[in-house]
Amino acid sequence: MQDAFNRLAGDLMAGLQGEEVLLCSVHGEDSDFVRFNKGRIRQAGAVRQQGISLELIRGRRHAGASATLSGEHDVDLARLKPLLADLRARLPRLPEDPYLQYATDVHSSERHAEADIPTPDEAVDRIQSAASGFDLVGVYASGGIHTGHANSLGQRNWFDTQNFNFDWSFYLSGDKAVKTAYAGQTWEETAFARKIARAARQLEALKRDPHTIQPGRYRVYLAPAAIHDIVGLLSWGGFGLKALKTGQSPLLKLAEGEASLAEAVSIAENTAQGFAPDFQAAGFIRPPRVPLIEGGRHAEALVSPRSSMEYHVPTNGASAMEAPESVDVAAGALPDAEVLGRLGTGIYVGNVWYLNYSDRPACRTTGMTRFATFWVENGEIAAPLDVMRFDETVYRMLGENLVGLTAERELVLDPGTYLQRATTSGRYPGALVEDFNFTL
Amino acid sequence: MERRYRLGHVPKEGIRVIDAMESRFAQAAPPGAGFVSLRYVDERTESLGVRHGVMEPAHTGSDVGAMITVMDGGGIGYAATSDLSVSGLQEAGRRARAWARRTAGLAVTDFSRLPHAAQSGTYETPVAQPWSSVALGEKIERLRAPCEKMKTDDRIIDSWARMVHLASETLYLDTAGSRVHQRFEMLMPNMGAVAVRGTEAQRRTLHGQGAARQGGLEVLDQLGFDEVAPRLAREALELLEAPDCPTGRTDVLLAPDQMILQIHESIGHPLELDRILGDERNYAGTSFVTQDMLGTYRYGSDLLNVVWDPTRPGQLASYGFDDDGRPATREHIIEKGILKRSLGGGTSQERAGLEGVSTSRASGWNRPPIDRMANLNLEVGDKTFDELVKSIEQGVFMATNSSWSIDDSRNKFQFGCEYGRRIENGELTTVVKKPNYRGISATFWRDLVGVGDERTFQVLGTPHCGKGEPNQMIRVGHASPVCHFASVAVFGGA
């Protein structure tokens, strides 16, 4: 793949004229997907896809195009040469772009991840064997992912990995379920068995009569999966420079010093410990770590090359979306084993769902509890809880009402598969929070 | 069964591609496999945008590939590839058949029982003003002009005008003898302004993400694209100075660009049959609707009439056939408040033993079809906008969705809008910011007490409906008049 891409890019660059600069990015996957419902297979199949993006630049004018690749060099070159000619013809009709920026220092790199993943056939056997007797629903995805970049200044970057991601739920009945994920680059049967056993134990707890609460404020424990979703919402326009400068970031008050989070809260884009490429489409290399929130206060923004030019701040290799891809929420001091005891009487929230903003400037979010959420009494799980809607500001839940973050964190490999399998990830602690507001 | 929609001149290149795919499919279909289909998709996009006076990067896209599906021995398998050579398709056929054999006896249903009638026909989006009929520079100017019109005040710190044009051609073939050729063209414009004072920001947009229709550049005229900019800027500034939406239980009057979200989340999704069958429980969720409710359940008041209508010209998800090659017809989903049928495609209908609609759809060549909404519309009533307002003693008018959240059974929801105005003694009065409301789907629609007439009706859509494992983002059309709901919990900012 890497050689094929470099050869294709090289052949395209050989046709450049005058001062033209060409940026090429490739992305692709060769994946298998197996979808389960009620322990049986709903759909199973394979997707082999590869696409290329071209950005032709002359002076401050530029035009971009993307196209799928067949993988056959001659076929693809024959399709891409006219595409390049089309871009060349468009350039004079486009205005100069004051915010155009691309990497001009050459930083080539390559990263190949080692992996030992089961064949999809083996995975189906293991899953069906382990899940026998359960109402299992979810998806198993596995295979290779690759991303590459090349520019006519001589830079070449490559990233490829093989991994699997089994994202599933055990259902009891109705909406009572336990959600679990097992993902990585090496399948370890004992680790998988532990996940299954833990989910089965939680499923047993769901068999008790459900508890219903009235809307109001409650002491809660937000498990790492819930923190993942909350930080995921913040990542949607929260950390980027453009969102801050245009007043659209929910963290604007934090950035302006009008609000703060608890001192225990530190969030970083940790590319060094993530699973995403360390380069982006304009050829910039990401630093190993960008602190976003440090000690409860705003640190740095994610700055794309375009925002860098618009707002005169150096880029830190962020993508155009300016969203973190390797999230690192710092651990706290609360041992996992003490979570229920410290919660005392309150709600253990296993997951939250469908988050959005109910007041963006106030960073007030709303969402639902979902999966494995329990009423806890005197440090013991007492009953499953019917789903509840919450409406709470991040400044309260991770600020004045935060009791503590757990010392242990969970690694979440994003199971997202829009367009293609994601490479984003994060490490999240759980959070003990007072006076968490449930509304419906 | 032969169905012919409006399919005009087909360029020679289109015919060549189709001819090539037919002969390649004949060579790629695994011999002896029970049932094999091929779905070819060629999707072309062009994106243009101007943000606060500066042209954004212009981009064109070409996404071409095919999926082969095999049903063999009761199992099912698919394989998608962007290698459209005979050998590439043969490899896809081999992988699809291997999955079909692997899943035989393990699948949720015996796929060999699915009926496969040969279908043939065509569909083409009617286009009045082709995208290619206007020069690039002229299109850019059409984006630059509204941006200039929105820069009316120093507090307007951001503004944008964008449009995405999409043209796609699909071909469905199967070993039952089907051949379905469809061509779609659509335009998805977007415009907005942000006003800021300190750390308070307010935005107004052209229907949020709902301004999207099939057609050519005439869609801009249909949506008032050239005229709306000054109003958006003015309303963003008004919101900056406005009080919060009041808190309490009161009547709400929802504009079409909020109604489409309300229909989408609390009628469309709960009625998807694959949710009811449990397929989506790990991701998009289940449904408070169960199979036994179909035909008898009172979903809403007598004023609630909802149709599934892929035949409406110019709506975002109009088509002649779904992605399983089944012909699509207009159907009542809810009639006078009573739930009539679910949104389930052929596979779900067979699994559930229920009637559905032809709504098996895929987001592209690289994802398998699942049950989706297409055009799901609320039918008009007989009240003018003024009559609706006059009928409300105390309430809030809300327009343009800005926030959406609903539980996994699609029951407990909370939605927010960009713009609100109080209604007092039958008149629109104070502008209010951050209007939000919450409710429960199972009871909310029973409080529908007024439905606007044709003049309040708008045809909109969303390009971004997410669902499925693997995930799929698909285009959905919705249309609605202005609607009046009684006694709703509303509230404003923090």
pLDDT in tens, B245-277: 999 999 999 999 999 999 999 999 999 999 999
- Residue A175: the pLDDT is 85
What single-letter DSSP state applies at residue A326?
E
- Which of A50, A96, A280, A358 best probes binding to B when mutated, by most B CB atoms within 10 angstroms? A358
Number of domains in chain B: 2
Judge if A179 and A288 occupy the same domain.
no
* Nearest-angstrom CA–CA distance, B244 and B388: 23
Tell whether A254 and A180 lie within a shared domain: no
The verdict on B89 and B204 lying in the same domain is yes
Instruction: Report CB contact under 8 Å: B58, A35.
Output: no
Same domain, yes or no, for A46 and A181? yes
Closest residue in A to B414 (Cα) is A366
pLDDT at residue A372, rounded to an integer: 86
Which of A41, A366, A389 is nearest residue B103 as measured by Cβ atoms?
A41
Do B295 and B329 reside in the same domain of the chain?
Answer: yes
Claim to verify: residue A275 and residue A297 sit in the same structural domain: yes
Find the CB nearest A44 among B76, B85, B370. Answer: B76
**pLDDT for residue B19:** 77
- Residues in B closer than 8 angstroms to A138, CB to CB, are 282, 469
For B107-163, the pLDDT digits (tens) are 999 999 999 999 999 999 999 999 999 999 999 999 999 999 999 999 999 999 999
Statement to judge: residues A47 and A139 lie in one domain? yes
**Residue at A299 is within a domain:** yes
Pick from B267, B257, B268: nearest CA to B210: B257
Supply the mean pLDDT for chain B: 95
Q: Are A7 and A42 in contact (CB under 8 A)?
A: no
Residues B435 and B408 in one domain: yes
| Whether residues B256 and B359 fall in one domain | yes
Model pLDDT, residue A59? 97
Confidence class for position B304, pLDDT limits 50, 70, 90: very high
Task: Please indicate, yes or no, whether residues A71 and A20 belong to a single structural domain of this protein.
Answer: yes
DSSP for residue B10:
P
Query: Is residue A72 located within the same domain as residue A132?
Result: yes
Q: Which amino acid is at A166?
A: F
Which tokens hold the place of A185? 């680059």
Structure tokens at A235: 């990542």
Domain that holds residue B419: 248-491
pLDDT at position B13 over 70: no
Domain end, chosen from B201, B218, B241, is at B241
Say if residue B93 is in the same domain as residue B232: yes
Q: Answer with the one of A151, A171, A206 that is the final residue of a domain.
A: A206
Contact with chain A for residue B82, Cβ under 8 A: yes
Indicate whether A199 and A220 sit together in one domain: no
Under an 8 A CB cutoff, do B408 and A387 touch? yes
Residue A308 in domain: yes
Which chain A positions have a beta carbon within 8 Å of B285's beta carbon? Answer: 353, 370
Flag whether A296 is in a domain.
Answer: yes
**Which amino acid, one-letter code, is at B338?**
I
CB contacts < 8 A, A to B, total 254
**Amino acid (one-letter) located at B423:** I
Is the pLDDT reported for residue B8 higher than 70?
no
Please name the residue of chain B whose CA is at the shortest distance from the CA of residue A100.
B57
Query: Does residue A240 sit in the same domain as residue A179?
Result: no
| A202-207 CB contacts, 8 Å cutoff, 24+ apart | A202/A178, A202/A350, A202/A372, A203/A134, A203/A170, A203/A172, A203/A177, A203/A178, A205/A374, A205/A381, A205/A384, A206/A172, A206/A176, A206/A177, A206/A178, A206/A372, A206/A384, A207/A172
Query: Which residues share a beta bridge with B15?
Result: none
Q: Which two tokens stand for residue B293?
A: 């409710």
User: Same domain, yes or no, for A129 and A174?
Assistant: yes
CA distance B337 to B320: 27
The partner residue sitting opposite B79, judged by closest CB among A46, A141, A355, is A46
Neighboring chain A residues of B282 at a CB cutoff of 8 Å: 137-139, 167-169, 179
Among B80, B194, B279, the residue with its CB nearest the CB of A247 is B194
Q: Look at A256 and B199 and tell me if their CB atoms are within 8 Å.
A: yes
The pair of structure tokens assigned to A345 is 């009487």
Which of A71, A258, A368 is opposite residue B412, by nearest beta carbon?
A368
Chain A residues touching B166 at Cβ < 8 A: none
Residue B179 CA from chain centroid, whole number = 25
Q: Tell me the sheet residues that pair with A34.
A: A44, A140
Domain ends where: B213, B241, B269? B241
Can you give the pLDDT at residue B2?
41
Same domain, A184 and A320: no
> In angstroms, rounded to a whole number, what is the distance separating the alpha carbons of residues A140 and A160?
20
| Residue ending a domain, choose from A163, A185, A206 | A206
Task: Tell me if B82 and A49 make a contact (CB, 8 A cut-off).
Answer: yes
Q: Is the pLDDT of residue B404 over 90?
A: yes
B196, B323: one domain: no
The whole-angstrom separation of Cα B52 and Cα A173 is 52
pLDDT tens digits for B18-35? 679 999 999 999 998 899
pLDDT band for B3, please (50, 70, 90 cuts): very low
Q: Which residues pair with B164 in a beta bridge?
A: B47, B188
| Cα A294 from Cα B340, distance rounded (Å) | 55
Find out whether B243 and B432 touch, Cβ atoms under 8 Å: yes
- On whether both B259 and B237 belong to a single domain, the answer is no
Touching A: B residues 205-264, CB under 8 Å: none
pLDDT of residue B7: 38
Q: What is the model's pLDDT at position A114?
A: 82
Q: Which amino acid is at A63?
A: A
Strands (E), B347-471: 360-361, 370-371, 375-378, 394-406, 412-424, 427-432, 436-440, 448-451, 458-467
CB contact under 8 Å between A37 and B57, yes or no, is no
In whole angstroms, what is the distance from residue B200 CA to residue B240 CA?
A: 7
Q: Is B164 on the interface with A (CB under 8 A)?
A: no
Instruction: Inform me whether the C-beta atom of residue B438 falls under 8 Å from chain A C-beta atoms.
Output: yes
User: How high is the pLDDT of residue B5?
Assistant: 44
Query: For residue A72, what is the nearest residue in chain B, using CA coordinates?
Result: B83
A275: helix, coil or strand?
coil
B residues 59-78 lying closer than 8 A (beta carbon) to A: 59-65, 67, 69, 75-78
Question: Quick one: CA dihedral B287, B269, B398, A390, positive or negative?
Answer: positive
Q: Given an 8 Å threshold on Cβ–Cβ distance, is A354 in contact with B408?
A: yes
The parent domain of residue A161 ranges over: 2-206
Q: Look up residue A399 and give its DSSP letter.
A: I
Whether residue B171 sits in one domain with residue B35:
yes
- Do B166 and B264 have their domain in common? no
Instruction: Specify the number of domains making up chain A.
Output: 2
Determine the Cα–Cα distance for residues A333 and A335; give it in Å rounded to an integer.
6
Residue of A nearest to B285 (CA): A175
B265 min Cα distance to partner chain A (Å): 12
Which of B241, B263, B283 is at the close of a domain? B241
Residues of chain A with pLDDT under 70: none
Q: Would the CB atoms of B108 and A63 count as touching at under 8 Å?
A: no
Distance from CA of B436 to the nearest CA of A (A): 7
- CA A357 and chain centroid, separation: 19
On whether any CB of chain A is under 8 Å from the CB of B420, the answer is no
**Could you report the predicted ipTM of this complex, rounded to two decimals?**
0.94
The torsion angle over the Cα atoms of residues B350, B352, B356 and B358, rounded to 10 degrees, is -40
Q: With respect to residue A338, please indicate whether it lies within any of the assigned structural domains.
A: yes
> What is the rounded distance in angstroms from the CA atom of residue A375 to the CA atom of residue A173?
18
Is B95 at the interface with chain A, CB within 8 A?
Answer: yes
Residues B183 and B306 occupy one common structural domain: no
Whether residue A363 sits in one domain with residue A277: yes
| Residue A211 forms part of a structural domain | no
Interchain contact B425–A (C-beta under 8 A)? no
**A78 Cβ neighbours under 8 A, 6+ residues apart:** none
Residue A377 buriedness (CB in 10 A; 0-12 / 13-18 / 19+): middle
Residues B84 and B213 in one domain: yes
- Enumerate the β-bridge partners of residue A144: A30, A162
In eight-state DSSP terms, residue A209 is P
Q: How far apart are CA B254 and CA B245, in angstroms?
A: 14
Name the residue facing B405 among A83, A94, A356 (closest C-beta). Answer: A356
Answer whether residue A143 is part of any domain. Answer: yes
Of A128, A248, A358, the CB nearest to B194: A248
The angle at the Cα of A169, spanning A164 to A171, to the nearest 5 degrees, equals: 160
Give the pLDDT of residue B16: 61
Residue at a domain's end among A176, A206, A236: A206
CB contact under 8 A, B405 and A38: no
Query: Looking at the domain assignment, is residue A15 inside a domain?
Result: yes
Residues B373, B325 within the same domain: yes
CATH number of domain containing B79:
3.30.2290.10
Q: For residue B6, what pLDDT is reported?
A: 42
